[in-house]
Amino acid sequence: MGCIMRKRVRQSYYKAPNKKVQSLIAANKITPHVWRLSEGNLIEALNAQGYNVKKIKKISYLKHQVSISYWDKKGGVCSGFFSYRIFARWQQAVERLVYNCGSVRQLQQLSELIEYEYTHYPYPFEIQEAINNTIETCNSELTALESYRKTVQREVACV
């Protein structure tokens, strides 16, 4: 008698069967490499992260991060790769996605992607908190709207 080999199915907390959860960039929900961030926004975000930026020298927008060369406050030239997630523009883009959800189900699907983001990429506390507040507000509004629609449908059906 031969041994029957079973294919082992690996399921993750973040995956539904046959559905791959990805970052917002990989899922093409946000395309930050086409953004053109202002020097002021760049300096503000980098200084908030603890860098002493005086002036931006060069910016290269890549698909998943931005390369920035800058002069620090001591006059030295520094450079690094930085996640788009540290910029206010990222927060606004994620919040726009949340606001554009038309149902609780859509919002839940987007929330799965956002939770994946939180577990795989560092987010500044303020940005994560603002996104979470937006999700909570929209969830409450969509839940109320869907409840209202069901009530109206029942009333119309009874007429």
All structural domains of the chain with their residue ranges: 32-158
Looking at the chain, the whole-number percentage of residues with pLDDT higher than 70 is: 82
In the three-class reduction of DSSP (H, G, I as helix; E, B as strand; rest coil), residue 3 is classed as: coil
Position 132 pLDDT exceeds 80: yes
pLDDT tier, 153 (very low <50, low <70, confident <90, very high otherwise): low
d(CA 131, CA 115): 11
Average pLDDT of the residues of the chain: 86
Which two three-digit tokens encode residue 41? 């926004």
Helix runs in the chain, H state only? 39-48, 88-99, 104-120, 125-158
> Which residue, 82, 46, 86, is CA-closest to 61?
82
Matching residue, tokens 């990222």? 90
Better-predicted residue by pLDDT, 65 or 11 = 65
Task: Yes or no: say if 116 and 104 are a contact pair by the CB < 8 Å rule.
Answer: no
Q: Given strand 65-72, what is the order of strands in its sheet?
A: 53-61, 65-72, 77-83
CB atoms < 10 A from the CB of 21, how many?
18
Q: How far is CA 134 from the centre of its chain?
A: 12
Which pLDDT value is given to residue 156?
63
Which two three-digit tokens encode residue 135? 């999700």
Residue 98 CB-half CA count within 13 A? 22
